[in-house]
Each structure stands twice: as C-alpha cells, then as structure tokens.
Amino acid sequence: MRRREDEPGMNMTPMIDVVFQLIIFFVITADLQNKDLDFAFRLAMAPHGTPVEKVNPLTININVDEKGTVTIGRVPLTAAQLTAILRASVAQYGQRIPIVIRGDRMSRHESVRAIMDACTTAGLWRIKFAAYKEEAR
C-alpha cells in the first residue's frame, strides 16, 4: 500500500541533529572534570577518612608536588598568582567556594601552608585535603 502525497509526516532530521549535538557535548565535557587533576601525584593515605559523595562544581583543586610547585589545572602558579586567582573567585562567587588541596605525599608542609595562607588571604575557609581511601591495586 502506497502512502498518499498529502498525508502529513514527521521530519526526524532536526531531532536527530539535536541528539547528535547533545552526544558530542556530553562526550567532550564529561572528561573536562578530570583534566585539571594530575593523577601522577602520589596522594597520602587516609583509610579512615570519609569519601566525597557529591562534588561542588565551584570546587577549586590546587595541586602541590614534591618540589613545592603549585598548580591549578596543570598551570604552575606563584604565590601572588594563586592569591589573585582566589581573590577573583571570591569576588565572583563569594566566600563559600570549596578548596581541595592535593598534595603529593612527599610535599613539604611549608608548601601546603603557603596554599592555606593564600586561601586565608582571599577570605576562603572551606578547605579540604585530598587523600586515597585505600591503596590502588
């Protein structure tokens, strides 16, 4: 049985285009959250710590390696640059921005303390430290 020319039909092309655009968007953005984390760091162990259930999208991950180099998103920063970035974040989003300090297990306390001082200078107080709950296999 043939369909008549005047019967209405649905054009699926625009809907398929939108679906493909959404797929591309989610594939690209899904991995961006892990791009600023340097997994070469050897974090300290905290077997009794509580695991993070929900991550605030405003969280700033600050890394410090064993040499004392401070990075955000794998970009090395001086203490003045870090303080400026944190102050700009406070100006835009307020003082409730969570900070996660990811220190290498061999990093010196003075390097971590410098990050904490920069956070205090910027007016940030929600600071957490990243650690492994259990040893990676």
Confidence check: pLDDT of 33 > 80: no
Task: State the pLDDT confidence band at 121, using cuts at 50, 70 and 90.
Answer: very high
- Domains in the chain, number: 1
Residue 136 lies in a domain: no
CA 11 to each of CA 6, 16, 21, 103: distance values in angstroms, whole numbers, following the listed order: 14, 10, 17, 55
Q: Rounded to two decimals, what is the model's pTM?
A: 0.67
Q: Which residues of 96-120 are buried (b: 16+ CB within 10 A; e: fewer)?
A: ebbbbbbbbeebeeebbebbbebbe
Q: In angstroms, rounded to a whole number, what is the distance separating the alpha carbons of residues 87 and 118?
A: 9
Residue 77 lies in a domain: yes
Average pLDDT, the chain: 82
Range of the domain at 81: 36-129
Is 50 or 117 the better-scoring residue by pLDDT? 117
